[in-house]
């Protein structure tokens, strides 16, 4: 026990105490066990793959160096100090840098993250894009690319200032984060430009996601009370239909994005996906063959009804409305039936975890196949007698759970043996 007047030795930090205990423990181990332990320990702290004999030799040199340094300095030297000196002297650390692990992880995250939005940056976008393309080639799976930018964003900075513009960018990032699955990735690749990588996602699913993103983004902007009508435009390309290289897919997505922006230019409202269908139709004119079996995302998108062609020139003809209504079925009899205006557009939920709980107690569960303004299609594993008025809670991406009243209208057996049920919303 030290005398009352003797100086109290400084207390060792936890790391140094651990190393001292480690040194004492290693002395009691035989040589093979000591070499095996040291090999794993040195790999863990230095990421160096060394032989067991090298590790034993380095450890012995470290103990000897500590004694030498302690004698020269006249005070105890920590084992980690001696270990770093030995590793650097042996040439194993060419540029030795000491950094805390948490700080290292922070640096790694900052290197690939946009500081304003928290999304991944353009550098990681390029790396991730190539990895996902290689995975798609290897397993023959589709990959969706969505390029987005904010329409009239510059006007926000000019009228409201850059701080408000930053809020708009953060709202866009929050929208994208909510929309994605765990396998998807969102990136900020420019000032007001974003990109999504959607593994195992075909054109129809990517377009459905893009439309949902636009809708939710408009809702998230409402609290900002902007005087500028900002919207989010999108362009979609899919591997391998639109190309097999990253440059090809980016070019296709950019072309479709700017075609949409050109179609939306001068409009007062947000640029919606219906306007994009007009621009897409200008790129690839519709044909009966495309209507029957759309081979590419463009033809899938062009299956939506046009809004701008004929309605304006014809307001002076209200009297023949019965005959005009009668003329619509004749057009529908042709293979171009998709050109007729749809009153309740459907959005596919394929590739998502969308589901519905049925009944007041929510005891039964069904998959949600698609969703529209007029109703929803669900899928059941077995045929069931559903009541005429059915209470359900819908769980779909982005939106909170929604309680609705449904009226089953038709039932169809699928090729997989399940049962698809079309339901109309009842107010």
Q: Which of 249, 282, 315 is the last residue of a domain?
A: 282
CATH of residue 373's domain is 2.40.10.220
Number of domains in the chain: 3
Statement to judge: residues 129 and 49 lie in one domain: no
Report residue 119 as tokens: 């999304």
Statement to judge: residues 83 and 231 lie in one domain: no
In a domain, 320, yes or no: no
CA distances from 318 to 33, 129, 148, 286, 400 (A): 94, 53, 40, 29, 42
Over its length of 427 residues, how does the chain's per-residue pLDDT go in tens digits?
Answer: 455 555 555 555 555 666 777 777 888 788 888 888 888 888 877 777 888 888 888 888 888 888 888 888 888 888 778 887 888 787 776 655 656 667 767 777 888 899 899 999 998 999 999 999 999 999 999 999 999 999 889 889 888 899 999 999 999 999 998 888 888 999 999 889 999 999 999 989 999 899 889 888 988 898 888 888 888 899 999 999 999 999 999 999 999 998 888 776 555 444 344 444 443 343 333 333 333 333 333 333 333 433 444 444 444 444 544 444 444 444 444 443 333 344 445 778 877 788 999 988 777 889 998 888 788 999 998 888 888 889 999 988 767 788 899 999 989 888 888 899 999 888 7
E strand or H helix at 191: none
Give the active site residues.
192
Domain range for 31: 14-89
Q: Distance (Å, rounded) from C-alpha 269 to C-alpha 254? A: 22
In a domain, 362, yes or no: yes
- SS percent in the chain: helix, strand, coil, step 5: 45, 20, 35
Judge residue 67's burial from the number of C-beta atoms within 10 Å of its C-beta, 0-12 exposed, 13-18 middle, 19 or more buried: exposed
Supply the pLDDT for residue 378.
92
Q: Distance (Å, rounded) from C-alpha 308 to C-alpha 275? A: 8
Concatenated DSSP letters of 30-84 = -HHHHHHHHHHHHHHHH-----HHHHHHHHHHHHHHHHHHHHHHTS---HHHHHH
| The overall pTM is greater than 0.75 | no
Statement to judge: residues 181 and 260 lie in one domain: yes
CA distances from 25 to 28, 244, 356 (A): 6, 57, 59
In a domain, 376, yes or no: yes
Cβ neighbours, 10 Å, residue 416: 8
Q: Which of 143, 149, 137 shows the shortest CA–CA distance to 202?
A: 143
Let me know: does 239 contact 175? Beta carbons within 8 Å: no
Concatenated DSSP letters of 268-306 = SS---HHHHHHHHHHHS---HHHHHS--SHHHHHTTSPP
Statement to judge: residues 173 and 70 lie in one domain: no
CATH of residue 178's domain is 3.30.70.270
Q: Which of 238, 257, 282 is the last residue of a domain?
A: 282
E strand or H helix at 235: strand 231-239
Statement to judge: residues 236 and 354 lie in one domain: no
Give the up-direction half-sphere exposure of residue 324: CA atoms within 13 A in the CB hemisphere: 10
Statement to judge: residues 125 and 67 lie in one domain: no
In a domain, 404, yes or no: yes
Statement to judge: residues 134 and 182 lie in one domain: yes
* Lookup result for tokens 């079925």: 329
Give the up-direction half-sphere exposure of residue 140: CA atoms within 13 A in the CB hemisphere: 0
Statement to judge: residues 360 and 405 lie in one domain: yes
Report residue 125 as tokens: 């976008």
In a domain, 103, yes or no: no
In a domain, 108, yes or no: no
Statement to judge: residues 176 and 274 lie in one domain: yes
């Amino acid at each position: 026990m030290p005398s009352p007047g003797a100086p109290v030795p400084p207390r060792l930090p936890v790391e140094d105490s651990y190393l001292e205990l480690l040194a004492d423990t290693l002395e009691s181990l035989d040589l093979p066990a000591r070499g095996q332990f040291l090999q794993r320990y040195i790999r863990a702290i230095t990421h160096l793959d060394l032989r067991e004999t090298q590790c034993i030799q380095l450890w012995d040199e470290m103990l000897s160096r500590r004694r030498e340094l302690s004698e020269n300095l006249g005070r105890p030297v920590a084992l980690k100090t001696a270990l770093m000196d030995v590793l650097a002297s042996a040439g194993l650390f060419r540029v030795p840098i000491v950094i805390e692990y948490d700080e290292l992880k922070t640096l790694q995250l900052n290197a690939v993250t946009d500081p304003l939005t928290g999304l991944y940056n353009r550098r990681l976008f390029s790396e991730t894009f190539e990895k996902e393309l290689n995975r798609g080639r290897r397993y023959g799976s589709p990959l969706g690319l969505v390029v987005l930018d904010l329409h009239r964003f510059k006007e926000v900075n000019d009228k409201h200032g850059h701080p408000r513009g930053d809020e708009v960018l953060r709202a866009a990032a929050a929208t994208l984060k909510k929309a994605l699955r765990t396998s998807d990735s969102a990136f900020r690749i420019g000032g007001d430009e974003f990109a999504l990588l959607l593994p195992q996602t075909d054109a129809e699913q990517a377009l459905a996601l893009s439309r949902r993103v636009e809708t939710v983004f408009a809702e998230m902007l409402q609290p900002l009370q902007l005087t500028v009508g900002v919207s989010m435009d999108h362009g979609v390309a899919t591997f391998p239909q639109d190309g097999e290289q990253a440059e090809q897919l980016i070019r296709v997505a950019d072309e479709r994005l700017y075609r949409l922006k050109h179609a939306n230019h001068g409009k007062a409202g947000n640029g919606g996906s219906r306007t994009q269908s007009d621009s897409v139709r200008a790129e690839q004119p519709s044909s009966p063959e495309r209507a029957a079996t759309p081979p590419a995302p463009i033809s899938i998108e062009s299956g939506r009804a046009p809004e701008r062609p004929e309605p304006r020139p014809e307001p002076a003809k209200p009297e023949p409305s019965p005959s005009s209504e009668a003329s619509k079925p004749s057009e529908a009899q042709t293979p171009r039936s998709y050109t007729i205006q749809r009153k309740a557009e459907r959005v596919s939920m394929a590739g998502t975890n969308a589901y519905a709980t049925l009944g007041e107690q929510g005891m039964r569960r069904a998959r949600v196949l698609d969703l529209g303004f007029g109703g929803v299609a669900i899928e059941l594993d077995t045929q069931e007698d559903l009541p005429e008025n059915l209470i359900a809670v819908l769980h779909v991406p982005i939106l909170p759970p929604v309680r609705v009243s449904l009226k089953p209208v038709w039932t169809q057996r699928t090729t997989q043996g399940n049962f698809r049920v079309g339901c109309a919303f009842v107010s």
